[in-house]
Structure 1
Amino acid sequence: MKITGYRLINTTISWGRPVGDVNGFISSGVTALPVVVVETDEGVEGIGMGMHDGIPQLFEAIEGEDPRATAALYDRMIARMFKNGHGGAVFGGIGALDSALWDIKAKLAGEPLWRLLGGKDRFVPGYASGLDIALDAPALEAFYTSMRDRGFTAAKLKGGRDYQHDAERLELVRDLLAQATDEPLLMLDANESWNLPQAVRYLRHLEDRVELAWIEEPLRRWDAAGLRHLRDASGVAVATGENLTGLEQYRQLFDAGAIDIVQAAAVWGVTHSLRVAVAAHSRDLPISPIGLSSNPAVVHVATAVPNHLTTEVTTAATPRGMTWDWEVQDGGIVLGDTPGGGVALDEVVLTGSADFVWGGEGGPHVRSSRAGLELGVRLPRAATRAE
């Protein structure tokens, strides 16, 4: 069997609510999802999600090769970008192709990916995450009530501008979840918006009101010394890693003892998630995947590693023209038995394409000009908008 070609597709996902973080949000609640389809000479196709960046050059590393050689082909793609660098969005292109190769490999084996990877239990425990910076109290209550009714007893909120506002929102969600459990868990994601003194002060004020299971991305992703200091100063567990594009970027965080919950973004692919899990396990650290709405194949990894803690679940919706073989219930994800990664494309997607939409100038992927430049515990509360 040989890899012969690829197709790039954009579809859309409608969240049913504005989505974003402290850096901005998308008020329409509609974003695009890049899809890559890898073709073979035997007619078996693999579907992957991540990003489209760099794929023409990356494909040169895998064209004509046997798609079942997933580890070797992953390393060939990394090597192909040796001079230009594999970081940033290009790493998402590697992740999309890698996930498609794993899809092919599992289809050829006639097994769902979770079983091919060595998983035993198809259930993946998770926590609810609303990407909810723009939600007012009624909308916040509606989303987390719906997730509580699906069995979730832990939630992660977006915040970082105003600790009083964050405390009120966390208390609201805590009280909702407390209707289903005696020990609701709360997390806060600041999306790299603080500097160290601001983070220390913010958490001290916030913890007078609510208890946090973890603080996510409080400082810049590479600030190993600062993250370690924050851990020692606040006593709150630090979660980070979703924006690290390569296993080597975790090294300084591990060496500094700066991380408690090791994260990896779904858009970076299956092989990256597997390798991050092994590296974390060697240091007795748990992993927590994020962004599975961008690449559901990675949730299969959680079934096959010994240190999976919990997975971010942002929606039960599926993108336009796509079918995913899983159910969001019982406080997590229940994977199905469809061979491969459990993703199928409908004709509506195969015959058309949507513009890529995720933020623009005011969206959540554009860092605020004032992020990390405050000494106090408050930032302007007005969020930017991107339609």
Structure 2
Amino acid sequence: MPNDGAGAAARAMPLSADHRIASLEAFQVSWRPNDPPGRRTAIVRVRTDSGLTGYGEASPMMGGEHSLLVARDFADSLVGADPFDQAVIHDKLLHRYIKLGPEGAVTGALAALDIALWDIKGKALGLPIYKLLGGAWRTKLPFYASIGGNANRSVDEVVRVVEQRWKAESPAAIKIRWDGDRTRQDYDIPGDIAKARAVRALVGDDFPLAFDANNQYSVGGAIRVGRVLEELGYIWFEEPVQHYDVRAMGEVAQRLDITVSASEQTYTTQALVDMIEAGVRMVQPDIVKMGGITGLMQCAAICFAHGVELVPHQTQPGLGHVANLHVLATLMHNTKPAEFADPDDRMHVAFENPPVPRDGSFEIPDGPGLGLRVRDGEIDRRRS
């Protein structure tokens, strides 16, 4: 099959051309030898009978294996469908598989398919996705360094790791993540506070900082930590309590002055509205979990209507990351930098133009579709 990632995809098909889905593949990619399942990437590749190929990425939980099982079931029903009908396809499939979710594996599979179909639409029209979404307010987006693994580090180790990222990347902001054991609530609040104080001392009073608790506090513990973060000038407090306890998340948000954020683990627009109505004023749905580009644009409309900040969660370094940037470019009220999680270039081999940060920002590719020039051969060699 043709590799339109570098050549044919850059040439737009005539608007009168009839594009039909010819095939859908859903598979894992192991970027490095002996990658454990959780480090693999879940990819959906859609080909049309006109020679175009679209690429999408599913939720990475357990390497996306559960989402790929669902996506493989999509294949037969999609052959012959018009990729421009991506919203209709999304809703038909969601309701066909609704009893498997509607959260988690199903929405991850739908996200990957949606991103791939938008990629095809852009290639068919010779336009980047952000143009199809209404245009970009900006095509160069600052990022914040999202630094994980701090629950098990000493204060000195946290400071060392943060200082390395800060100096190496020149981010617009820094978020320290705990990634701790969610079954051990309020395990080391004094230690957590000491780490927050040490990072503030490192970067100075005015540098933007955020604190991601990864769901590790009770309501009382979250309020105790949140009060200190307010004193230290942190700009947001992410998922302080269990994500599924919407009432508790709302209570913490309403009792603190610091902005409390949530919804990284929210998978439907209805659940997003529930979180907002509970009192959360900054939400962070993830494009590879929340309906892809179509779903994230729906979230943007909801947030605009409710006066809530949309700051999408994003940890995937390739397809998901670039899809997220296309959406962020279209948001008028883009109040925070884009997330750049722990640096990882493992997917770069698959692209002629991998997304690489420069001077604290990412440039959105301006080629058709996602704008990524894909090396199909490199992907296929690494299929699991």
**Which TM-score band applies after superposition, normalised by the shorter structure?**
0.7 to 0.9
User: Aligned with 2:310: secondary structure?
Assistant: coil
Distance 2:225 2:191 in 1: 12
Instruction: Please give the alpha-carbon distance, in whole angstroms, between the structure 2 residues aligned to 1:139 and 1:197.
Output: 25
Structure 2 SS opposite 1:54: helix
Larger helix proportion of the pair: 2
**Pair 184,31 (structure 1): closer, same or farther in 2 beyond 3 Å:** same
Does the CA contact (< 8 Å) of 2:137 and 2:332 recur in 1? no
Shift of 1:325: 4.4
What is residue 350 of structure 2 aligned with on the other side?
322
Between the aligned partners of 2:142 and 2:221, the Cα distance in structure 1 is 33
**Using the alignment, how far apart are the partners of 2:90 and 2:238 within structure 1?**
28
Q: Give the Cα–Cα distance (whole angstroms) in 1 for the partners of residues 22 and 85 of structure 2.
A: 15
Measure, in 2, the Cα distance between the counterparts of 1:264 and 1:248. Answer: 12
State the number of aligned residues: 337
Q: 1:145 touches 1:176 (CA, 8 Å); kept in 2? A: no
The structure 1 segments of at least 4 consecutive aligned residues displaced by more than 6 Å after TM superposition are 27-30
The counterpart of 2:285, out of the listed 249, 255, 264, is 264
Root-mean-square deviation (Å):
2.7
2:46 aligned partner, one-letter code:
V
- 1:68 alignment partner, SS class: helix
The CA distance in 1 between the partners of 2:162 and 2:31, in whole Å, is: 17
TM-score by length of 1: 0.78
Distance 1:277 1:148 in 2: 32
Please, which of 119, 138, 155 is the counterpart of residue 136 of structure 2?
Answer: 119
Matched, 1:223 2:245: yes
Structure 2 contact 26–44 (Cα < 8 Å) conserved: yes
Q: Look up the SS of the partner of 2:98 in the other structure.
A: coil
Tell whether the 8 Å contact from 2:31 to 2:382 is kept in structure 1 after alignment. Answer: no
Deviations 1:198-218 (A, max 9, x none): 3223334x4487332111111
Query: Is 1:156 the counterpart of 2:156 in the alignment?
Result: no
> Is the 8 Å Cα contact of residues 128 and 313 (structure 1) preserved in structure 2?
yes
Equivalent-residue separation in structure 1 for 2:270 and 2:285 (angstroms): 13
Q: CA deviation at 1:4?
A: 1.6
Q: How far did residue 103 of structure 1 move?
A: 0.8
CA 1:341–1:97: 2 relative to 1, 3 Å: same
Label 1:28 to 1:74 Cα distance change in 2 as closer, same or farther (>3 A). Answer: closer
Paired residues of 2:137 and 2:331 also in contact (CA < 8 A):
no
2:298 aligned residue: 275
8 A Cα contact 1:203 1:234, kept in partner: yes
The CA distance in 1 between the partners of 2:157 and 2:121, in whole Å, is 45
Percentage identity across paired residues of the two chains: 24
- Counterpart position of 1:86: 102
Deviation at 1:34, TM superposition (A): 1.1
Deviation track 1:43-90 (CA, whole Å, cap 9, x = no partner) reads: 111111013241123335533211122222222221222343331122
Given candidates 76, 95, 104, the residue that maps to 2:120 is: 104
Distance 2:376 2:73 in 1: 28
Q: Which amino acid aligns with 1:6?
A: L
Q: Provide the residue aligned with 2:340 in structure 1.
A: 313
1:130 aligns with 2:159: no
Identify if the C-alpha distance between structure 1 residues 208 and 28 changes in structure 2 by more than 3 Å, giving closer, same or farther. Answer: farther
Report the AA paired with residue 129 of structure 1: S
The match for 1:168 is 194
Name stretches of at least 5 consecutive residues in structure 1 with no aligned partner.
15-26, 355-387
2: CA distance between counterparts of 1:143 and 1:345? Answer: 34
CA distance change for structure 1 residues 8 and 56 in 2, over 3 Å: closer, same or farther? Answer: closer
- Normalized per residue, the structure richer in strand is 1
Structure 2 Cα separation of the partners of residues 299 and 151 of structure 1: 19
| Structure 2 residues not aligned, in runs of 5+ | 1-18, 59-63, 179-185
* Whole-angstrom distance in 1 between the partners of 2:221 and 2:51: 55
Tell whether the 8 Å contact from 1:141 to 1:172 is kept in structure 2 after alignment.
Answer: no
